[in-house]
Structures are given as structure tokens and as C-alpha cells.
Amino acid sequence: MIYRLEQGVPKIIGADGYVRIKCGLTWVQEHRLVVENFIGRKLTNEETIHHLDHNRMHNSIENLMLFPNQKEHKAFENKIKQFGITNPIMKQINERWNIK
């Protein structure tokens, strides 16, 4: 089941800086819900979400990027640290939601 984001739903900010939303009896990270609702399916445990502006509370879909696993997420981060925002990285960011 994918939870819909609605107004008035309880939210908290965890010690790790991520916004969590009350879904039934559990608290779920808001950025994961935003992506799940956008792509229309539940995320796997391996899938990782990257905040483009590094602000864990900025959870608009324009600021989020999905990676299949932590290894690919870290490789992306390392490229940015090493080379900055290059044209290939901008292309990857711009094409991130071209879901096939």
C-alpha cells in the first residue's frame, strides 16, 4: 500500500533531520512517500533517495533523485565532490524521472 500525502497528517523531524509522517501506526520518511507517490509503487529497501540541495526537510519531487542502491548513490556523490556539477551530471539529474 502506498500512503497518500494529505494535509493535517502528523509530522515530526527526527534526530537525523528527516521529516517523518504518521502512516497508520508507523512513522515513514516523507521523502520516500513523495517518491513512491510519484512513481506509483513502493520503494524497495535497497533504493535510496538523494536530496539535490542536501536539505533533508525539502521533500518536493523536484529536489529528489532515486538511486537503485546506496553504492550508486555514493558514486554520484563522489563524482560531484570530485568534478562539481558537470554536463553529464546535469543530464543525469534532468533525466531522473524519465521512467521507462
CA-only gyration radius of the chain, Å: 14
Pairing of strands 64-67, 48-51: antiparallel
Rounded-to-10 torsion of CA 27, 30, 35, 36? 20
pLDDT over threshold 60, residue 41: yes
Q: Which of 35-44, 52-61, 90-99 is predicted least confidently?
A: 90-99
Question: Where is pLDDT greater, at 7 or 97?
Answer: 97
Whether the pLDDT of residue 35 is over 60: the answer is: yes
Of the pLDDT bands very low, low, confident and very high (cuts 50, 70, 90), residue 3 is: low
pLDDT band at 24 (very low <50, low <70, confident <90, very high): confident
CATH class of the region 11-94: alpha beta
Return d(Cα 51, Cα 64) in angstroms, integer.
5
CB 74 within 8 A of CB 99: no
What is residue 100's predicted lDDT score, i.e. its pLDDT? 53
